């Protein structure tokens, strides 16, 4: 059980790191969207699965509709902010 908790925490920390990389300009929206999809599949019963799924869907729309990379980043940061806040709450607990 403890190994599962540590594994889940590591996956959530990876999502938080991906959000940080996007903010820092070291990653792009496509990478983040793929990671959110994979993590939500790996953690379907997580407290943040619904937020990850919503962010994933929002990011797919941004990728399809917004062509300017800087605008994509701004929209992505805004749409993933609730996820970032929830992850901070969970990981800091």
Residue 24 CB contacts under 8 Å (≥ 6 apart), including other chains: none
Q: What pLDDT score was predicted for residue 16?
A: 97
Domain ranges in the chain are 2-92
Q: What is the mean pLDDT of residues 29-58?
A: 95
CA dihedral sign, ordered 54, 59, 65, 70:
positive
| C-beta of residue 35 within 8 angstroms of C-beta of residue 52 | no
Q: What pLDDT score was predicted for residue 63?
A: 96
pLDDT tens by residue, 56-67: 999 999 999 999
């Amino acid at each position: 059980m403890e190994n599962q908790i540590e594994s889940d925490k590591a996956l959530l920390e990876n999502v938080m790191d991906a959000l940080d990389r996007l903010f820092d300009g070291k990653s792009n929206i496509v990478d983040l969207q793929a990671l959110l999809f994979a993590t939500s599949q790996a953690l379907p019963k997580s407290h943040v699965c619904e937020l990850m799924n919503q962010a994933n869907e929002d990011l797919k729309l941004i990728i399809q509709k917004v062509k300017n990379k800087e605008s994509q980043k701004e929209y992505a940061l805004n749409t993933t902010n609730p996820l970032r806040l929830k992850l901070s709450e969970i990981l800091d607990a």
